Amino acid sequence: MNSYVMKTSRWQGPRSLLPALDIELTERCQNNCCHCCINLPEDDPAITREMTALEIKRILQQAVDLGCLQVRLTGGEPLLRHDFEDIYHYARQLGLRVMLFTNARLITPSLADLFARVPPLLPIEVSVYGMTSATYDAVARIQGAFAEFWQGIESLLQRNVQFIVKWVDLPMNRFELETFQRWAATLPWADQPPGINRSLQLRSRRDAPDKDRLIQSLRSVQEKPLVNEDIRNFCRNFLGPPGVQLFTCGCGEKPCVDAYGRLQPCLDMRAPELSYDLRTRSLRDAMLRFFPALKSQTATDPHYLERCARCFLKSLCEQCPARSWSETGSLDTPVEHLCRITHEQARALGLLAEDERGWKIIDWRNRIDNIDSL
């Protein structure tokens, strides 16, 4: 095109009040993956509480009015909704780019045709749980799941619909990781290595005491620290005590609407007091008033104030209000297993000696400066 057109690909224009929005179309899934935090059965009665297509369209329109360019449709399995195509079409007609998160089992030839004709403008993201029926079906706990997943992939490939694949790494499928990586490298759009998800949330809400107890017992498992140049660079750039502010992240900048119309500050944060009912109130109000007010909150838990607020490892640590709420029911209680993992990591990086604690280190700047020589 001639000089009148400034940019023609992956436009990054001025930032609007709401650049992107996540919408969970359902919490139901036809897989029953052992690790998943959001997979109600396909026919769960929760279906009656889910937003209607009309409600979702209203939210999409409000998002566009706020300058939103991108919507992520996720779940559960978003393709389980019988009105998915209607919602997808509407989003695209509004001029939204759509990022679809799916297990691909419901990608039929006709749906793949739709994606080829009306492209989402962003690659579809497909989670992969195994490279053979035996493994995949065992993780998904559904017989025949792998065959459907594979058909979905074939349908996309045949129509040249862009997608990327992400591996969910579990003890029961790890022996197939290399096969997955080799296969992923052969996909037409594989310009970088596929994502590998090792940090799994085991629950989304604190609404099942049995599950809470089980998770608590699993939390003693040690994770292997990662030491490489990327992590060292990260430490050089981002470590330091966070202070008393509760949200040190982009809380509310990439909000997520749950399947029932409640707007959360992000995908992971489901504390009811931090969500905003879009069935009765507006997205604009949430963005202009509700979330900014949350961001100004400070921590009050004495343990948090003594430890996390003063801990120079905070950016290495997955402790955040969402994790804290999901593990303990409060927004600012230090999460012990995350604390242990972070300290292991810091020791492996040479930032801490065996008996030291992140919140007691005064010369942390020197330690970060010397991270190579330590």
Partner 1 sequence: MQPAKPDLLDTANVYLPSEDIVSREIEGELILIPIVAGIGDVDDDIFSFNDVARDIWRRFDGNRSLDDIIQELAEEYEAPIDRIKADVIGWTSELLRRKMLVQR
Q: Amino acid letter at 302?
A: P
DSSP one-letter code for 121: B
DSSP-derived secondary structure for 222-286: ------SHHHHHHHHHH-S---SBS--S-TTTS-EE-TTSEEESSSS---GGG-EETTTS-HHHI
CB 60 within 8 A of CB 20: no
The set of residues, in sequence order, having a beta carbon less than 8 Å from that of 217 and lying 6+ positions away, is none
Picked from partner 1, ligand SF4, none, the partner binding residue 314 (CB below 5 to 8 A depending on kind) is: ligand SF4
Report the C-alpha gap between 226 and 348 in whole angstroms: 8
* Footprint of ligand SF4 on 278-317 (CB under 6 A): 307-308, 311, 313-314, 317
Question: Between residues 104 and 317, which has the closer beta carbon with respect to ligand SF4?
Answer: 317
Nearest-angstrom CA–CA distance, 298 and 114? 47
Residue 8 binding partner 1, by CB under 8 A: yes
- Give DSSP secondary structure letters for 26-40: -SB-S---TT-SS-B
Q: Does 120 bind ligand SF4 (CB under 6 A)?
A: no
Q: Spell out, one character per residue from 171 to 210, where the chain touches partner 1: x when CB under 8 A holds, - when not.
A: ----------------------------------------
Binding region for ligand SF4 (CB under 6 A) out of 28-36, 58-66, 113-121, 331-339: 331-339
Least distance (Å) between residue 270 CB and partner 1? 30
Residue of 41, 67, 144, 292 interacting with partner 1 (CB under 8 A):
67
**Binders in 81-100 for partner 1, by CB under 8 A:** 92-97
User: What is the per-residue burial (b if ≥16 Cβ within 10 Å, else e) of 66-89?
Assistant: bebbbbbbbbbbbbbbeebeebbe
Our finding on whether 265 is near ligand SF4 (CB under 6 A) is yes
Give the interface with ligand SF4 as residue ranges (CB under 6 A). 247, 249, 251, 265-266, 268-269, 307-308, 311, 313-314, 317, 319-322, 334-335, 338-339, 342, 358-359
Give the interface with partner 1 as residue ranges (CB under 8 A). 1-11, 13-16, 64, 67, 69, 92-97, 116-119, 121-123, 162
